[in-house]
Each structure stands twice: as C-alpha cells, then as structure tokens.
Amino acid sequence: MAESARQATRLDAIGGHFDPWLIAVACALACVGVVMVGSSSIAQNSDEFYYLTRHFVFLGGGAVLALWLMRTELKLVEQYSQWLLLGCFVLLLLVFVPGLGRSVKGAHRWINLGVSSFQAVEAVKLLYIIWLASYLKRYSEEVSATWPAMLKPLGVAIMLVGLLLLQPDFGSSSLLLAITAGMLVLGGVNMPRMFGPVVVLLPVLAVIAIAEPYRMRRITSFMDPWKDQLDSGYQLTNSLMAVGRGEWFGVGLGASVQKLNYLPEAHTDFILAVIAEELGFVGVCVVIALFSALVARALWIGLKCVEMRRHFAGYCAFGIALWIGMQSFVSIGVNLGLLPTKGLTLPLISAGGSSVLMTCAALGLLLRVSYELDRAQRQVARARGEPGPATVADDASKSPQRQAPRAPAGVPLAGTPAPGTPPVAAHAVDPMRGTSRLRQRVEPTFGARA
C-alpha cells in the first residue's frame, strides 16, 4: 500500500508540455499583426505610431492574461462557470449605464475604463464558451436525449443575443448563435432535434437583418457595390481595389495606396485588404493557412481530450476553435467581397484592444488545455509501463541513471529467488492489480460525464 501511494505521488509529479504548434502559429499571427498594423495605420493619425504603440500595449496585456490562464488549473476555471455566465449579462448591461457605457456612431458597445474603452462582447464570447463547455460536460447525456436540456443553452444564447441587438451588434449576435450551434453538435446533440430551432431562428435573423435600413443597404451594396460606389458601396469597392492591386506578390510592404485615407478602417476591419495589396495573393494565402492550422490544431486537441474523457477541456477547445475560425472566416470573406460588410476584426491581426486582449486570453486557455492533455497522457503511459519518448525523457531528466547492485559470488541478491525455486507469474508483481485507488489516481477522470 505504501508503494502504491509512492507511485501515485510520482505520477502526480509528472508535468506536461504546452503544445508547440499552437505557440508557433499564434506567435506567427501576432507578428503578422504587428507588422500590418504598423503599415496600415500610418495615415490614420497625426502620430504615425499611435495605433502601433497602442497595439503593442494591448498585445502585452493579452500576453499577461494568457500566461495567467496557462498557469491556472482547468478544474478551478470550471468551478466558476456559473459566475462567468452571470458576468456575461452584467457586462452587456453595463454598456447602457450612463457615464460608464460609451456610444460610438450610435452603437452602445463599449465600457469606459478611463484610460481606454473595452468592448464587452469580446469578453462575453470567452466567458460564454467556458459556461457552455461546463454545461455540456454536466448534462451531456440529457442534451443528446431530451428537448429541455438542448433548449436551455439556446435560450441563454437568445437572451444574450437580445442584449446584443439592443446595442446594436448583429455580427456578434450571429457569431454567438453559430458558436452555440457548433458546440451543441460537437457535444453530441441529436441532429434531427437541431433542425427545429434552426428552421425557426434563421427566418427571425433574416427579418432582423432587413428591418434596419442600414443593414439592408449593406446587403444590397454587397450584391453590386459598384452601383453606389461613393456611398453604400464605398468600403467594399475600395477593399476590392486594394485586393486587385496586390495581384500575386503585392506592391511591397508599406507601399499600399488604399490605406492613405481611401479605405475606411484599414487597420481594423479591412486590414486583410491592405495585406492583399502589399503582400498579394501569396500573403493572403499565408494568413489563411495560419488560421487554418490554428483552428485544426485546436479541434484536434479537443478531440483528444474527449477521447480521454476530459470533456470540459475538450469542449473549451472546440468553442475557441469555432470562435476564431468563424470570426476569421467572416472577416476574410468581408474583405474579399464574399460576405456582406460586418464589423468583425481579424483575430490577433487587426488593431483593436478588446479583441487582442480576449483572443490572447482564449489562446492561453487553449494552451492550458493542451498542457493538461499532455500531462494526462504522460501519467497514463507511466502507469501502464508503456515505453515512449515522453516517459523516457521524464525518467532521464528527473532521476540519475543507477546501475544494478552486484552481490559477492555465491550470495543471492535480496528479492532474488533461490536456485530451484519456480518462476513467479508476471501478474503477481503487477503493481496495478488490486490497487483500485491508484487506478483512480492514474486515469484522467476530470471532465468525465456526470
């Protein structure tokens, strides 16, 4: 029993590794963002480096948030999931508080923090994903079998969307609903049950989209932006001209013409158009490849977590992958004229304090998921005695190599059977047999289905 406790302690001492692919891709996207924000914002302010300096500050703050989440156990994050959902509603209501909420061009989306403004919906995306991951872990069987369990997260999402539409923010509302639907599908919801809510919600969203005249103008200008080039189609036509000028390899870094006060929001919503103009088709393909690699890796990590019954971690990875994947898809589609104009930033690349902060925080949480997955895999491999690079590396780094003791001639070692003694069966010395408590310590039960 004492040996089992010592082995369990050694297993608990095994650490994990943060996924190097995630770190590499995230750093590459952040570097692209720094370069392109510096290039695209040079004519947006009298101080040429104003937006670049601001971007550096928020990127540094995001790195601090990411490091903090990378050192926080997911079990602790899950314990506060209910409070995080409450925080979503509080944040979306604070934007309407006089003196605290800040309005820009008629939209109430920002909280005034004195030194800067914070867009509440950026934090809501991450907090809501954490709550939904916890909910799917706790009620996974009910979600796939009953209507009420499936409709509850949809009801919560609709309430959040209602507050977003009051701001108004149709783009983030659609994104939140899409994340909810995607996480429910990946969480094992019965697909035929999903058709009912989808059939109801799609016409409602269509009516909301055409109810406001400015949204209708965006849709019509998207269909034919050149028809009203100087009014409703101004942003899209200038974006398309920037994309067209770039051709294969671009006009050169810093040589964009459209960013010189011709293309609105060149450093935020339409930064990909500047990338296309300066770096060409090849540059756009590199950006798309980086986002594809990031999303694919996050989905793979989520799948491995679910396979190891770490469902909360897996659903968090799924939610973050859906968030970054869909938001980048919409932003790229808008810049290339494939989707109607919407005010969604390109994650990690566009200048935008709130977006940069919360995207970094989401990546920090995702890296924590990869760390705990790797740790669990190492613990299981060590307990089962399976040889592998991970377990061998741990043994080599944590304990010096020892040589077997030698006994004098004719004197058997302690524990060595005397001559003529029949060999002991292999299972008799199996440390895993009969130690159910040790097996519970080894198997990754955190995140198991409730």
Q: What is the DSSP letter of 14?
A: -
Q: What does the pLDDT read at residue 209?
A: 80
| CA 51 to mean position of chain CA atoms | 25
**Cα angle for residues 78, 80, 85 (degrees, 5° grid):** 105
Render pLDDT for 178-206 as a digit per residue (tens, 0 to 9): 999 999 999 888 888 888 888 888 888 88
- In this predicted model, which residue has the larger pLDDT, 177 or 144? 177
Residue 370: pLDDT band by 50, 70, 90 thresholds? very high
C-alpha distances out from residue 408 to 6, 33, 112, Å: 31, 69, 81
- Closest Cα partner for 124 from 76, 173, 75? 173
Query: Quick one: pLDDT at residue 391?
Result: 39
Closest CA to 22 of 329, 376, 373, 448: 373
Q: Are 237 and 273 in contact (CB under 8 A)?
A: no
- Dihedral, CA atoms, 266, 272, 278, 284, nearest 10 degrees? 180
Nearest to 287 by CA among 320, 236, 259, 329: 329
| 21 CB neighbour count, 10 Å cutoff | 14
284: which 2 tokens? 């756009």
Q: What is the pLDDT of residue 12?
A: 67
Given pLDDT bands bounded at 50, 70 and 90, which one contains residue 323?
very high
Q: 395 pLDDT band (50/70/90 cuts)?
A: very low
Q: CA of 42: how far to CAs of 148, 265, 408, in Å?
A: 53, 12, 81
Mean pLDDT of 338-343: 85
- pLDDT of 289 reads 97
| Model pLDDT, residue 399 | 42
CA angle 33, 326, 356 (to 5 degrees): 35
pLDDT category, 446, cuts 50, 70, 90?
Answer: very low
Q: What are the strands of the beta sheet with 117-119, ordered from one edge?
A: 101-104, 107-112, 117-119
Q: What is the mean pLDDT of residues 133-152?
A: 90
CB-based contacts of 432: which residues, under 8 Å, 6+ apart? 383, 384, 438, 439
Query: What is the pLDDT at residue 401?
Result: 43
Query: So what's the pLDDT on residue 5?
Result: 54
Say how far apart CA 5 and CA 11 lie, in whole Å.
Answer: 10
pLDDT band, residue 404 (cuts 50/70/90): very low
Statement: residue 342 has pLDDT above 50:
yes
Q: Tokens representing 86?
A: 């409450």
Q: What is the pLDDT of residue 6?
A: 59
Mean pLDDT (the chain) is 83
Q: pTM of this prediction?
A: 0.83
320-337 mean pLDDT: 95
The model's pLDDT over 40-95, given as tens digits with 9 standing for 90+, comes to 998 888 788 889 999 999 999 999 999 999 999 999 999 999 999 999 999 999 99
- The dihedral built from the CA positions of residue 289, 33, 341 and 224, taken in this order, carries a sign that is negative
Q: Report yes or no: 362 and 214 within 8 Å, Cβ to Cβ.
A: no
Share of the chain above pLDDT 70, in %: 83
Task: At 7, list the tokens.
Answer: 């082995």
pLDDT interval class at 133 (50, 70, 90): very high
Q: 215 falls in which pLDDT band (50, 70, 90)?
A: confident
Alpha-carbon span 79 to 84, nearest angstrom? 10
152 pLDDT above the threshold of 60: yes
What is the rounded CA–CA span in Å between residue 355 and residue 90?
19
Average pLDDT over residues 31-44: 92
What is the rounded CA–CA span in Å between residue 276 and residue 278?
A: 6
Least reliable range by pLDDT among 58-62, 183-187, 284-288, 405-409: 405-409
112 φ/ψ angles, rounded to the nearest 5 degrees: -80, 115
